[in-house]
Chain A
Amino acid sequence: MKNEEDLALASALVAGDERMFTYFFELYFPRLFRFAKTRMDDESAIEDIVQTTMMNAMRGIKNYRGEAAMFTWLCQICRNEINQYYRKHARQVPEVQADDDAIRPILERLESQDSPVDDYEMMQIRQLIAEILDFLPGRYGQALEWKYVLGLSVTEIAERLDTTELAVQSMLSRARSAFRKAINEVSPQLGIPGGGL
């Protein structure tokens, strides 16, 4: 299935729409930064990796066909850049902590009173949840963060997105569904048998 909204964004970029360039950068730069950061142990290289990723994507934007979601496509380019970086420096690509089996029991332990989650575990669970939010379609992850982490009202979110409160209600409902689905997908890794939420 084609990703029509992403294709429309690619077309707008090719057409020179500056507003959509800003939208593209603000939507994907923070996500790619987090994506690269969880996969690299050399923080000084992250800026170069993400910048090169976005530049290569921009050069190839005319060839984007919408077979994969825009962020999935960007992550593939970013993975290649990371692999090249480690090959160039003759080093092993570090294991991705967010996919590590070690984090399996962490989610259900988040609220455990018996043995509180330590800082390291909390860092890992943060990375996993951030990854899930970043991979949700469109601006779902951002909407969930605004609503439930920053505590913005529906009205405030509607103002930020320049849309109606009804559209935000709808987006939040779909975002919750997508988040639940994603959590349930990874629930076996998290030690929550039969689904998480």
Chain B
Amino acid sequence: MNHDMNNDRKNSSEQDIERILESVGPLELPPEDMAARVKANLKQVWLEEAVNENPSTGLSRQWFGIAAAVAMVTFVVLLSNLMESGSAPRQVVASIDHTGANIETSIDGASWKASTSQELLDGIYLRALEPVSMTLENKMNARLASGSTMVLHAGNHIELLNGSLYADSHESESSDSLLIETAFGSARDIGTQFQVTATEDQWSVQVREGEVLIADGGYEDLLQSGEKISIGNDDQVTESQLDSRDASWRWTESVRPEFNIEGRHLNEYLEWAARETGRELRYVNDSAKQSAKSSVLSGTIAGLSAADSVDLVLSTTDLRLLETSETAMIVGLVNP
């Protein structure tokens, strides 16, 4: 599974994309002289009509004096605060998805206390007494298994001290990837659902969907869906395969973030339910797919597991779950 970063391992889906794009060739570009003319004209409009005038140019001397005084006081207060705390102000970089989560937090990893706050500041230590789900600042979802401990260094940087951490970047709004570090090595998501586990003598990474780049000393590898790698502190590497319904994923289903179905299209909900249960969503035909795209949901599935909610939600629509296998959810119309 060794990997050269410049030579992506291409799966069949990636090859399909490559073949289509190769077939159609480069996109047409506007002529260079046209681009130069339009850019010059646009720049003039931009500078004259879009750019804000410097707000200080219209200030009277009196207002300038007041503003300067306020700025000086603010600067002194900020400087004083910084000197007292010895560091920059901390920021909220994640939030717990459920109220009443059973967690403990610490600012130094030594003294712990039960926490009821849903907001998590950068640099905080977090210990889960039961599975907990959180949304990071780029909308990526992370779930910490019961008994696990982590440090939230930033919205895209977590250090897993022990236990298991699951990450899902499906809803991420940023191209920033999530870095999960352990004492042995690190894993970085490349658009995926994956889990990192750290114990005293080894760490492992398993990928449910997408790709994860791992690094352990000089060792680098790109893991793909269904792959798991464990690396011991004796540098022993063990590779194995596991499917998206493997029992090791199951704990994550108990702490999923809420999916609000109100106003959402049925196909969005079904895609979410399929992802949450580690299955592929299939429609028996295009009519079923189009029906799912045009159906708008209302109500709530609060308190239900993703798997349990499917039949309930579909019962209010023209679609039914025709078959649920280990790998797929197959949906079709009630009256084809």
Q: Could you tell me which A residues sit within 8 Å of B by CB distance? A: 1, 4, 13-16, 21, 25, 29-30, 33-34, 37, 47, 50-51, 54-55, 58-59, 61-62, 107, 110-111, 122, 125-126, 129-130, 133-134, 138, 141, 144-145, 148-150, 153-155, 165-167, 169-174, 176-177, 179-180, 183, 188, 193-194, 197
Contacts and interface: CB of A to CB of B under 8 A. Distances in A.
Interface residues of B, number: 53
B141 to A, nearest CB: 16
A174 B191 contact: yes
B191 A177 contact: yes
B38 interface: yes
Contacts of A29: 30, 35, 38-39
A129 B21 CA distance: 8
B294 to A, nearest CB: 13
A179 B29 CA distance: 20
B45 A55 contact: yes
B50 interface: yes
B37 A148 contact: no
Contacts of B51: 13-16
Given A125-B23, A165-B5, 13 more contacts: A58-B50, A62-B52, A110-B19, A111-B19, A155-B5, A166-B177, A166-B188, A166-B213, A169-B190, A173-B192, A177-B191, A180-B13, A193-B285
B222 to A, nearest CB: 8
Contacts, number: 153
* The 3 residue pairs across chains A and B that have the minimum distance between CB atoms: A173-B191, A33-B30, A16-B51
A169 B283 contact: no
Contacts of A193: 285-286
Interface in B49-66: 49-52
Nearest to A126: B24
Interface in B8-27: 8, 13-14, 16-27
B27 A30 contact: yes
Contact of A170 (B49, B50, B175, B290): B175
Given A167-B175, A176-B13, A194-B289, A58 B189 contact: no
B211 A173 contact: yes
B190 A173 contact: yes
B41 interface: yes
A84 to B, nearest CB: 18
A1 B191 CA distance: 20
B24 A129 contact: yes
Interface of B: 5-6, 8, 13-14, 16-30, 34-35, 37-39, 41-43, 45-47, 49-52, 173, 175-177, 188-192, 210-211, 213, 282-283, 285-286, 289-290
A165 B25 CA distance: 24
Contacts of B282: 194
B8 A55 contact: no
B17 A148 contact: yes
Given A4-B173, A126-B25, A149-B26, A180 B17 contact: yes
A25 B39 CA distance: 7
Contacts of A197: 13, 16-17
A174 B26 contact: no
A110 B23 contact: yes
A47 B191 contact: no
Contacts of B46: 13, 21, 58
A30 B29 contact: yes
A76 B185 CA distance: 48
Given A29-B39, A167-B175, A133 B34 contact: no
B175 A194 contact: no
Contacts of B22: 148-149
A154 B283 CA distance: 36
Given A34-B28, A59-B45, A170 B20 contact: no
A171 B283 CA distance: 29
B42 A25 contact: yes
Contacts of B210: 173
8 contacts: A14-B50, A25-B42, A29-B39, A34-B27, A51-B41, A149-B21, A170-B177, A171-B175
